[in-house]
Amino acid sequence: MTGSAAAGAHHEFTVAEDGAPRLDLLVAQRLGLSRSQAATLVANGHVLVDGARQKASFRADRGARVVVDVPPPPGREVLPEQLPVSVVFEDEHLIVVDKAAGMVVHPAPGNWTGTLVNALKGRGQGLAEGAAEERAGLVHRLDKDTSGLMVVAKTDQALRVLSKAISERRVMRRYAALCWGHLGDDTTTVDRPIGRDPNDRVRMAVTAGGRPARTDFVRLARFESTDLLRCHLHSGRTHQIRVHLASIGHPIVGDDNYGGGGARKVVGLPPQRHFLHAAWLAFSHPVSGAALEFRSPLPEALRTCLQTVAELPDLIASPNPLEYFGFYRADR
């Protein structure tokens, strides 16, 4: 079950308006689900209106009490798999990986295998058990087609400490992005709430009822039709950087879901890839308190794209072209 309705959760709400939509749409809107998911809940008797089951087409009156019980998902074991995964740091408490684009972070409907969690288990990896098995050890996530650095907890203590550090903004996460067009200033902040797109439940959007989200953008270079940006997350909403840039008219190059997917050949970007990379990660060790810092160079596909738009032939030979543009400078 995706959306904001957690599996195994109990929800109650009162219909506040006259002319409410049909029951499946009403439940979908209130719980952040797709219409088909809501219709399944209704059909299976998990939705009651004033204590009675109704059809998906039923329209509740103003003041009606709607109760929704989302059933827990069926148990599903997360199997270890022998998959390549790049490890940049590891000790008995945590592991830092450089995730490849195209790899889903954790198992979910449609992607029960081939994920980062499967790969870590395939290494014989002990992961924190404080989270659900399919999200074992995960402190934060990256989108499937976003590459770069992630920290994963091996112990419940590390998971608690690192998760708190994330929520208190004590973990530095910087992303490299290439966007279409040119920002109005060299530094731009987008502070707009993000929630499910009411017209497409698999997408996110800036919405009045969304959760607070803020992203700072620093322009590192301006090319003919694109800007190279360093992105600083102050919150961790789903698709946050992608949604915020799209909301100001500058979608990420190659982002098919948020309006930046065209002209791939012009910028030398392969299919199923957008230009977003988690390139810089720093935090205090959850046990020793030691300062840890990690840098990930651009993957080959993004180096090629950057060399194409920058028109600098020697750039592709650089071990990490981001250094050339001052990405890791603390004063920028």
Per-residue model confidence as pLDDT tens digits over 282-315: 999 999 999 999 999 999 999 999 999 998 877 7
Residue 206: its pLDDT value, please? 96
Per-residue model confidence as pLDDT tens digits over 207-255: 988 999 999 999 999 999 999 999 999 988 999 999 999 999 999 999 9
- What is the pLDDT confidence band of residue 3, given thresholds at 50, 70 and 90? very low
By annotation, the residues acting in catalysis are 143
Structural element, H or E, at residue 305? helix 300-310
Q: Are 238 and 265 in contact (CB under 8 A)?
A: no
- Cα(87)–Cα(220) distance, integer angstroms: 28
Residue 121: its pLDDT value, please? 92
Pick the residue with more confidence: 150 or 40? Answer: 150
For all residues of the chain together, what is the average pLDDT?
A: 89
**265 Cβ partners below 8 Å, 6+ apart?**
none
- Cα(35)–Cα(24) distance, integer angstroms: 6
The residue-averaged pLDDT of 263-283 equals 94
Per-residue model confidence as pLDDT tens digits over 172-190: 999 999 999 999 999 999 9
Q: Is 243 helix (H, G, I), strand (E, B) or coil?
A: helix
Residue with tokens 């961790």: 236
Q: Are 41 and 10 in contact (CB under 8 A)?
A: no
Burial readout 154-169 (b: 16 or more C-beta within 10 A, e: otherwise): bbeebbebbbebbeee
Q: Are 143 and 169 in contact (CB under 8 A)?
A: no
**Which of 208, 186, 177, 182 has the alpha carbon at shortest distance from 195?**
208
Per-residue model confidence as pLDDT tens digits over 150-173: 999 999 999 999 999 998 999 999
The residue-averaged pLDDT of 197-201 equals 81
- Cα(8)–Cα(315) distance, integer angstroms: 52
Domains of the chain: 10-69 (3.10.290.10), 86-167 (3.30.2350.10), 172-324 (3.30.2350.10)
Helices (H), 174-294: 240-247, 264-267
Q: Are 95 and 87 in contact (CB under 8 A)?
A: yes
- Cα(159)–Cα(12) distance, integer angstroms: 32
